Chain A
């Protein structure tokens, strides 16, 4: 067993999305019987370990925040651009030049809208066990969270199907007193 999860063949890293400066960095490592969630907060790393037999459900709460913000940005830009066109027309700037200026200004919100549509909606995901509900704040993309949930569920089903842990104390032999 290696101390570094990435060097330990027992662990497989799950996709959790890109780093963001607004959220703590998160990485999730799946083993045959448990899930390790590593969260980098400031100058420390925090670990949470979930046994796959303890996880009762993954709860995803989709959010329309990203798409709404992109639409508001785009819709708010339309009157601004119309005003800009009117101003440019009034100061008799050549038609082609004003078109280039308007296109230049319109590109960022339209690109943001396209990116929001491509990346999918945001969400929050929580791991629910019998004794706690843990939120994974950095895993905030809905398609990614769904894929994460599928992988963990598959591992939990495989864990249920596998025979009982041979190292459980109930079957340990009695030690000799000598």
Chain B
């Protein structure tokens, strides 16, 4: 098995596999487009698999839940089942068995496996802006904002921004706009009534 080549971003031609040649390269040998490559220690290294599971030799040996003939090396941190080296999935300092890993991926309890999250704070901010521009419909947008904030308060939020604070501010702002609009309409209504 050969280590995979690094392709040129422009022409997809494979670049030299030698780290020294890559580091000194200033353009692609095939298409001559300018290029800088920073080789890392893993360059040319093949992916290394984990150790093969050992067979259980004595009746006292704990065996893997999924492979009865293999020696267990670690329990699953979620369900406690004994696992051999083949079934042990080591994710972010936690040892999991394949079913618990799949359950964690589906329930989003293993953050290292998460691919995306919805930014409810950005939705709330957009609704707050909508409150300003949609006139008499702003109470609807404000109510939608309150509903979103309440419904998603306990859901996983952004991993880089203070989402709950943003949602609170956006909801308070949209409520303020809606109440302000209601007051203006009420005053307008009353002034029409008196005149």
Contact of A3 among B85, B126, B159 (CB under 8 A): B159
Residue of B33, B51, B74 most packed against chain A (CB within 10 A): B74
A5-B159 in contact given A133-B7, A160-B41, A168-B90 (Cβ < 8 Å) = yes
Contact of A172 among B4, B38, B73 (CB under 8 A): B73
Q: CA A128 – CA B3 in complex, angstroms?
A: 12
Give the secondary structure class of B's interface: loop
Q: Determine whether the beta carbon of A130 is less than 8 Å from that of B95.
A: no
Tell yes or no: B154 within 8 A of A by CB. no
* Chain A residues whose CB sits within 8 angstroms of the CB of B35 once the complex forms: 59-62
Q: CA A130 – CA B44 in complex, angstroms?
A: 8
Contact mask for chain A residues 133-160; partner B; CB cutoff 8 A; 1 contact, 0 none: 1010000000000100110010011001
Q: Could you tell me which residues of chain B, from 59 to 113, have a CB within 8 Å of some CB in chain A?
A: 60-62, 71-75, 82, 85, 88, 90, 92-93, 95, 111-112
**What's the minimum C-beta distance from B39 to chain A, rounded to whole angstroms?**
5
With an 8 Å Cβ cutoff, the count of chain A residues facing the other chain is: 51
Q: CA A49 – CA B50 in complex, angstroms?
A: 20
Q: Which 4 A-B pairs have the closest CB atoms?
A: A60-B36, A172-B74, A169-B88, A58-B38
Q: Chain B interface (Cβ within 8 Å of chain A)?
A: 3-4, 6-10, 22, 33-47, 50-51, 60-62, 71-75, 82, 85, 88, 90, 92-93, 95, 111-112, 114-119, 122-123, 126, 156-160, 162
